[in-house]
């Protein structure tokens, strides 16, 4: 039987989390097929796709990852699927034969449209038998004959007369631990899983829920519980591939855990393909390349390494594009500098920093079209002042980072002295200050202001 493994990135997914999940799931599926492994790897995501991911997926006809909300064990993970069914008009004799033939303890009873109506179980038959013996007043031949007659009659009784109708109904997507207590408390040992059309698609018994299997996951682009899929503590983590600090996901067994201080998880996935000697399909190569480009800001971020550059070149050859040109198209696909809401433009990537008793907000907006952003300066500054006032920030800094020109237009509202002192510049309330070579908030802006 095939078993699914979820390959998933962090919450609020960025393009790297999406691409790494899709790219790695593909590689794992190719390898599983080669090895005749029963595992199927399902790429998943924990939020809406970033526009640039949608753009690449569409352009190369790749199926987007499946959106999931948790990895708790579900009813569908433990049920016995495709239960044996019998029609309401069938006789108890037929029911008994079916139970014997399939060596099972219960049958689902359905109407003509195939909708679930009740359960016939060995227990129902036993109860009918015991009821018949109630008629046994004494051991006289007459009395015994009455019982025998009653039992013979029972064989031609309709299933619908004896079935249990008060059966607990579940949905395959129900979280198992939410329904366990009700199942244990219910009269029957079985619950029936029905689909939207009311058809029985599975049976769950009490023994199925006693030791439920864990969902299996592979984490990409994170190794922190806080950023991971809900229910992670209940799941089995099979692998982690990441390029962030080592955090707090822990496992019961030794696992494959790849972590390197490089520019993107997509780079690591590319290396995995090459190490396994598996060809990277063009679409997957484009997807991985797009993620290297967004995570490293077209290889210009200080986090970009030679490893990222080499792998980007390798992928670009497969796709048949120039890496920088391709990177720019990816950033343009993010788009919307002219009509993006100002809350998003300033707030989508904003981090708070503590300087003594003051909180400073440093926001960053990456663009391939600086003039378009700066046309909105007034509106942007107004919003920055509002943020400072509403949230009590001492200073609000916005880095409008021009990826092409490799520099940042720095805007500051609130107490500008802090910024001026840190950089030896003269920030005013107009135009901002062009800072060539400044791309990294953490290394080049926050460190200076806080240092
Ligand atoms: Mn990443």
pLDDT, residue 111, reads 95
Question: 378 by DSSP, 3-state: which?
Answer: helix
Q: Are residues 47 and 11 in contact, defined by beta-carbon separation less than 8 angstroms?
A: yes
Superfamily of domain 77-207: CBS-domain (3.10.580.10)
Alpha-carbon span 406 to 170, nearest angstrom: 56
| CA 447 – ligand 1 centroid, Å | 21
Kindly report the CA angle at 323 between 322 and 327, in degrees rounded to 5?
120
- Residue 297 token pair: 């800001």
Give residue 17 CA to ligand 1 midpoint distance, Å. 6
Q: Which residue has the higher pLDDT, 287 or 157?
A: 287
Query: Topology of 342-450 in CATH?
Result: Diaminopimelate Epimerase; Chain A, domain 1 (3.10.310)
- Do 262 and 305 touch, CB atoms closer than 8 A? yes
d(CA 188, CA 319): 58
Q: pLDDT-derived band of residue 154, with 50, 70 and 90 as boundaries?
A: confident
Q: What is the pLDDT of residue 405?
A: 87
Q: Give 264 Cα–ligand 1 centroid separation in angstroms.
A: 5
Query: Torsions phi, psi of 5, nearest 5?
Result: -120, 125
Instruction: Please give the pLDDT value at position 1.
Output: 58
212 versus 380: which is more confidently predicted? Answer: 380
| Domain 3-73+215-334 and domain 77-207 have a common topology | no
Cα(52) to centroid(ligand 1), Å: 14
pLDDT at position 336 is 77
Q: What is the pLDDT of residues 20-55, one digit of tens each?
A: 999 999 999 999 999 999 999 999 999 999 999 999
**In the chain, where are the structural domains located?**
3-73+215-334, 77-207, 342-450
The yes-or-no verdict on residue 221 having pLDDT over 70 is yes
Confidence class for position 135, pLDDT limits 50, 70, 90: low
Q: Is the pLDDT of residue 2 over 80?
A: no
Distance 350 CA to ligand 1 centre (A): 17
Average of per-residue pLDDT values in the chain: 93
CATH classification code of 3-73+215-334: 3.90.1640.10
Ligand 1 center to residue 267 CA distance, Å? 9
For the segment 164-174, what is each residue's pLDDT rounded down to a tens digit?
999 999 999 99
Q: How far is the CA of 296 from the centre of ligand 1 (A)?
A: 9
Residue 150 has pLDDT above 90, yes or no: no
**Distance of CA 243 from the midpoint of ligand 1 (Å):** 7
Distance 15 CA to ligand 1 centre (A): 8
> How confident is the model at residue 89, as a pLDDT?
93
Is 108 within 8 Å of 192 (Cβ atoms)? yes
Q: What is the mean pLDDT of residues 114-121?
A: 95
């Amino acid at each position: 039987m095939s078993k699914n493994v979820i390959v998933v990135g962090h919450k609020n997914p960025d393009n790297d989390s999406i691409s790494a999940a899709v790219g790695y799931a593909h590689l794992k599926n190719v390898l599983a097929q080669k090895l005749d492994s029963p595992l199927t790897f399902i790429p998943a995501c924990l939020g809406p796709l970033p526009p640039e991911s949608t753009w690449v997926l569409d352009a190369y006809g790749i199926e987007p990852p499946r959106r999931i909300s948790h990895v708790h064990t579900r009813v569908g993970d433990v049920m016995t699927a495709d239960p044996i069914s019998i029609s309401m008009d069938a006789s108890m004799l037929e029911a008994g034969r079916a139970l014997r033939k399939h060596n099972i303890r219960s049958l689902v009873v359905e109407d003509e449209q195939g909708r679930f109506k009740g359960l016939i179980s060995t227990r129902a038959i036993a109860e009918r038998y015991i009821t018949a013996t109630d008629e046994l007043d004494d051991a006289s031949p007459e009395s015994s004959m009455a019982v025998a007659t009653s039992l013979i009659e029972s064989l031609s009784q309709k299933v619908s007369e004896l079935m249990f109708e008060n059966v607990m109904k579940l949905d395959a997507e129900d979280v198992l631990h939410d329904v366990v207590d009700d199942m244990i408390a219910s009269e029957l040992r079985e619950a029936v899983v029905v689909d939207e059309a009311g058809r029985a698609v599975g049976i769950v018994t009490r023994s199925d829920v006693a030791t439920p299997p864990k969902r299996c996951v592979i984490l990409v682009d994170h190794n922190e519980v806080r950023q991971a899929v809900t229910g992670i503590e209940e799941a089995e983590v099979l692998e982690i591939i990441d390029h962030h600090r080592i955090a707090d996901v822990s496992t019961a067994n030794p696992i494959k855990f790849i972590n390197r201080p490089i520019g993107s998880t997509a780079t690591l996935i590319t290396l995995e393909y090459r190490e396994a000697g598996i060809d990277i399909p063009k679409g997957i190569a484009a997807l991985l390349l797009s993620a290297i480009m967004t995570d490293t800001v077209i290889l210009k971020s200080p986090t970009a390494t030679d490893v990222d550059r080499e792998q980007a070149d390798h992928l670009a050859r497969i796709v048949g594009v120039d890496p920088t040109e391709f990177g720019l198209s990816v950033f343009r696909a993010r788009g919307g500098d002219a009509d993006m809401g100002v809350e998003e433009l300033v707030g989508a990537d904003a981090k708070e920093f503590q300087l003594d008793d003051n909180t400073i907000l440093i926001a960053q907006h990456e663009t391939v079209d600086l003039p378009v952003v700066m046309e909105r300066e007034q509106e942007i500054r107004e919003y920055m002042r509002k943020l400072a006032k509403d949230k009590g920030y001492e200073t609000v800094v916005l880095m409008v980072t021009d990826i092409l020109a490799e520099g940042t237009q720095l805007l500051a509202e609130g107490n500008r002295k802090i910024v001026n002192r840190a950089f030896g510049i003269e920030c005013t309330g107009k135009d901002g200050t062009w800072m060539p070579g400044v791309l990294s908030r953490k290394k080049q802006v926050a460190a200076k202001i806080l240092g």
